[in-house]
Amino acid sequence: MNKVLKKWSDRKKVVLEPLFKGYVFVKVEEEKKWELMRIDGILNYLHWLGKPARVRDEEIDTIRRFLQEFSNVEVMEYDMAVNSKVVVQTGFFMNYEGIVMEVVDNKARVKIDSMGIQLSALFDKKNLAPAVFNNC
């Protein structure tokens, strides 16, 4: 839950709102996951690469700690831009990092350095994620 300052004409108050509106995170056994679909209002599971998406416990804990530290947090979709660093998530170049050279619709041309040469290829944007920086 996200702490948000709401203003009315006569007062201000901090209220709790869901951070991911329209989403419910569940931890359910594989054989029971379709029972949840009987609940009114549940439309489907969020899918990633053709399978129901799974969020690691560590990621949920990171989000919870973030929300404890900060208030009025906003969730924004990652906007892939030219010169941004990305990591390939599927296929032969999985886990390779590269730099976005161009973005056209749902594809991005990515430059990857390997074996002393530069390669560039067109990837589906859904198969790319922002590269995580390690500032140690």
Q: Where are the domains of the chain?
A: 2-69, 85-130
Q: What pLDDT sits at residue 78?
A: 65
What is the 3-class SS of the chain, one letter each residue?
Answer: CEEEEEECCCCEEEEEECCCCCCCCCCCCHHHHHHHHHCCCCCCCCEECCEECCCCHHHHHHHHHHHHHCCCCCCCCCCCCCCCEEEECCCCCCCCEEEEEEEECCEEEEEEEECCEEEEEEEEHHHEEECCCCCC
Q: What pLDDT sits at residue 136?
A: 43
The tens digit of pLDDT for each residue in 5-15 reads 888 889 988 88
Classify domain 85-130 by CATH number: 2.30.30.30
Residue 100 has pLDDT above 90, yes or no: yes
